[in-house]
Structure formats: structure tokens, C-alpha cells
Amino acid sequence: MCGIVGFIGDKEKKQILIDGLRELEYRGYDSAGIAVMDCCNISVFKAVGKIVNLEHKMKDVEFNGFGVGIGHTRWATHGKPTELNAHPHLGEFSYVVHNGIIENYQELKTFLISKGRVFLSQTDTEVIVHLFEYNLSLVEDCFNAFEKTINELKGAFAILLMTKKESDKIFFAKQGSPLIVGKSNLNEIYFSSSDAPLIGHVDDVIYLEDGEYGFAKLSEISIFKNFIKIDVAPKKLPNNKQFAQKSGFRFFMEKEIYEQSQVIADTMIGRVKDSLVHFEELENIDISKFNSIKICACGTSYHSALVGSYLFERVSKIQTSVEIASEFRYKEPLLHENTLFIVISQSGETADTLEALKMAKHANMITVAICNVDNSSMVRVADFSILTRAGIEKGVASTKAFTTQVMVLWMMALHFAQIKKVVNSEFIEKEILAMRESSNIIKVKEFYHEKVKRLSKRYLHGHGFFFIGRDVFYPLALEGALKLKEISYLHAEGYPAGEMKHGPIALADSELFTVALMPKNILHDKIKSNVEELSARDATILSISPIEFNLSDDFIKTTDTEHFMLEFFEMSMILQLFAMEISIRLGNDVDMPRNLAKSVTVE
């Protein structure tokens, strides 16, 4: 998804902007660009593909002395990933970068063309800079022209605009897409669409809110809302950059799989006590008020939501439904105040989930965001939020964000069960014991990784994969299939094992790979007979289980534990390694798979 950086100051600007864009690479992009202005010269560079291509184009230039610069990584929405469509976009004397979507761009473009403006790209973004210059011809003051422009745009945006007419400033606006601004000790100004590029440059930042806009120049940030200047208190910027490095692993995804043991433990700190689970974040929720829970999410977060629905019903005895956020938005859902509304999102910026959250708020529901990014849009919109504490996740294919989400949901289920008094102390004790063991069980053991590496070579062809499981292992099967297709580009489907005979079994033959999740502690005999049915049709079976299964072609023996959630966490790690090793053998870019973005901030 698109990323934005900006800088005002004396330091060499090429490196600051390139380094900033690199920190945003994990979000996914297909082109990048930079514009730098000193006094009244503007230089612009754009390249399709990786940032290294842009860097190559800029290898002979440096921008020392005072100036302003803006940069952008683009993930194509309107128009193909070409240099012409890459940002920054040019008017006659101004440049703009933009994240989000301008919904009324077509009518604005028609209007501007009728006024003689010439468009070069297919993007929605280009209207912003032309509209600004057109408005400037009417009002003759840059800030007023920018303010007027922002008010004429519909949709979602984070915008940085610079113009030769006031060459010491960057004009900015935020509506629905994240934008952060900070001032360094030397009074330089830094902009970014997320924390990472700012770390090390500034200590305090302003997380702009929807509807805020303004301008910045050396030592000054002026913010406005509804035509009035406002004061906004800066917040401390996190300074943890160690998560942003690969620490010797081949890929961020690999590093993140290995980190799960630590982050699962972090997720429990202060929440899992000696004899109970406690969420300070939820202290003010009266759970007795709710007769049901609804969870909305997308992708991997949707899979963890499904796991949550099993746990809330089984442990907390609260009826729970789960919806894919993009479906929920338009189905005209019936929303009741006695339903607790939960959204789950790694990034906290996913457009569909954010919109679902806003709908729930609008319906006066109590809302909770389970999220990995503090100060993200969802965290700011929801009534309550629980941070998953997974640390920055750079691999586009989510791993540690998923398992920490599941951990939070498991703890929440027990937390609600304690409050509702639907479980006894013996049950709570057993659950807490298992929770404490989770961090150990998910630790990557060398022999698992070796085993997965070796057997991955047998799964590079064939006509597809079925991942099958039952109960919470059904959403895990969905997740295993999603991981594999995201980074290997092989066709994979997740299925509830009991459903296979209702149709999909027709596909079974030796070229159909079935990954069977066969835990000991939940419905083992049931899934065993489902897998036997597939084996009888000659499907190739990889079974993952603590119990030997003699019909499998490949077998990964997992730890013999007494709790299904421990089996769940161990199998999650194995499926992540399986997808990654296949992707590596196929020579794919594990961390930045084709066509995908880390943070999907458009519909």
C-alpha cells in the first residue's frame, strides 16, 4: 500500500527521503518517486519497481542546503504501475504525493480539463495538484488555495504538496489515511505515513486526525480544522528499531516466525496473572450487558476472528458471529447495542475493517479494536483497544500478528468467562497453565524447521492443496492455505474436514495434496475418518499430528500436549514454515509477494 515521506531542512535530502521510503517498503508498492525543491528549482525522480531502481536514477545527485522534499511509494489503484502514474504528480509549478482514493476525481478532472489543465497520468491523485493551482489562480494565496482544494475533495487522503510559489513550505492534509508530522531538535520537519521512517529523527510527533490540514516550514507546524487553527499536543514516538532489521534471518517472515515465542509471552505480560486473566483495557466494559459478540476483520485477522468465535462460545458462553469486513459493510447489517462489536487488524488501517468499526460506532455499539499498531486509525476510533504487542511485522504474509491475535482472543474468552462466572477455578487454572506454555510450544525447534525444509521439495507441483481441520483447526486450515497461496502462488484451499465429502472430495487424486491438521485433543477420530476417505481416493496426505497416522504419505509428529490450543500454536508455526520453505524453493520474494500490500488502506 502507498507510503509517504516528507522533509524540510538543511540536511542532504535524497538520503533522508530514500531511507524513509525503505522503511515503508514492507507495506508493498510497485513504483516510487521523490521530488526535491530548493529555492525555486524542483527536481523529480520516479522509477517502477523497487526503491533501488529509484536510487540508481538518483545516484549522481545530492540535495544539500535548505530545501523541501516529498517522497512516495505507490501501490497501483487508478492506472498501471508506470513512471507516469508514479507520484509525485506535477502541475505547472507544484508537486503532490497522496495516499488513499479521491472518489470525485473524475468530475474534478472533467472540470479542470474544461479550464485548460493538461493531465499526464491516469491517477486520481493528479487532480489534487491541478485543482490547487486552479484555486490559486482564484484566491491568490497558497494556504487558502490549499484549504479550498481539500474542501473540494471527496474520499480518503493523506496529502503532501509543495509549490514553487512558497518554496519553504509543505502543505498537508489528512482524511481517512494516516499521516504523522514531527519536528527534530534542529527544527527540521519530517512527515511520514507511519512511525518507522521517523524513528531516530524526531522524538515527539503529531498523529494528525481526520479533517486536519495545514502547512509546515522550518521550525513551524500549523494545523487547522474546519478553517480554525488548532493546537495539537505531540506524542512520544516509539524508538524500537530493532524489530526493523532481519537479525540474520533470510527473510523478515522467517524472523517473525521465530519471534513468536517472545511476542506471545509479551502479549501475556500483566494480563495473565497467577490465578486469573485480567485486561486493564476492558475494565470499563460491563460484559453482562451483552448477549452476543460480533467480530469483523479481513484476511488473516478474519481467521483469528473465527478462532475467537469458537473460544467465546466454548469458554465464555457468549454467542459470537464473525463477518468479513468487506461483506459486512454493504449488507445493511442489523446492529444492536447489546452486541459487543470487535474488530481485529494487524495494521489498524484496513479500510474495510475501519469502515465496519465506524458503522458500529454509528449504531451506538460498544466497540473494541484488537490491533498491533498503537495510534492506528482503529485504535483511535474504537471505544476500547487491546494491543497485540507483536512488534512491527514487515513480512506481508502475517505470522506473529496472527498468533498474538489468537492469544489475545483466548485470554479475552477466559476473562469474560471469569466475570460471567461460567467457569470454575479448576478450569481457569488449567487454561492459565496452558497459556503459560504457549510461548514454549510455538518456539521453532531446529528439527521441525529441518523436517519442513526437506519435505517442502515434494510439494512444488501438483494441482492444488487442501488444508483441512475441524473446530479451531478449521480457521487454522484456512490460514495455512492463505499463507501458502500468498507467497508460493500455488492454489490452496482451506476446508472444514467434515465438508470434504459434500463436494471437494471429487478433486481427490494423487496430484491433490492434502495437509491434514489432526490434533489429539479435539475430534481426533472424526478428522481421522475424514482423512481416511481422502486417502482411499489416493490423495497425497501430509498429516500433522502427535499421533502416528499410517495412511499419510508424509507425517510431521507434533508434541503430545493436553490442550488443543497448544496444538494450535505449534501447528500454526509449522504451517508458516511450510509455506515459507515452498516459497523459497520456488524462488519467490517471500517478504513482498506479488500483487499484495501489507496494509490495505483502500476498499
Binding site for ligand M6R (CB under 6 A): 298-301, 345-347, 350, 353, 396-398, 486, 596, 599-600
Which regions of 49-133 does DSSP assign to beta strands (E)? 67-74, 89-90, 94-102
Residue nearest to ligand M6R (CB): 299
The packing angle between helices 446-456 and 564-585, to 10°, is 50
- Cα–Cα distance measured from residue 401 to residue 257, given in angstroms and rounded to the nearest whole number: 10
Least distance between ligand M6R and beta carbon 486 (Å): 5
Nearer to ligand M6R, 86 or 307 (CB): 307
Q: What are the C-alpha distances in Å from 366 to residues 3, 219, 294, 297?
A: 32, 41, 11, 16
The DSSP string of 205-241 is: EEEPPTTEEEEEETTEEEEEETTEEE----EEPP---
- Residue 194 DSSP class: S
- Tell me, what amino acid is at 423? V
Active site residue ranges: 2, 598
Nearer to ligand M6R, 68 or 396 (CB): 396
Strand order in the sheet with 41-48: 41-48, 31-38, 67-74, 3-9, 189-192, 180-183, 204-207, 235-236
Nearer to ligand M6R, 347 or 583 (CB): 347
Q: Look at residue 36 and give its three-state secondary structure.
A: strand
Least distance between ligand M6R and beta carbon 373 (Å): 8
Least distance between ligand M6R and beta carbon 390 (Å): 11
Least distance between ligand M6R and beta carbon 186 (Å): 34
The DSSP string of 92-114 is: SSEEEEEEEEETTHHHHHHHHHH
Closest Cα to residue 403, out of 448, 442, 375? 442
Nearer to ligand M6R, 205 or 296 (CB): 296
Least distance between ligand M6R and beta carbon 416 (Å): 22
Q: Look at residue 338 and give its three-state secondary structure.
A: coil
Nearer to ligand M6R, 260 or 552 (CB): 260
Nearer to ligand M6R, 167 or 301 (CB): 301
Helix/strand/coil (H, E, C) string of 399-456? CHHHHHHHHHHHHHHHHHHHHHCCCCHHHHHHHHHHHHHHHHHCCCCHHHHHHHHHHH
Least distance between ligand M6R and beta carbon 467 (Å): 14
Least distance between ligand M6R and beta carbon 353 (Å): 5
Cell of 342: 470487535
Closest Cα to residue 459, out of 560, 556, 591, 593? 556
Nearer to ligand M6R, 299 or 519 (CB): 299
Cell of 31: 513504483
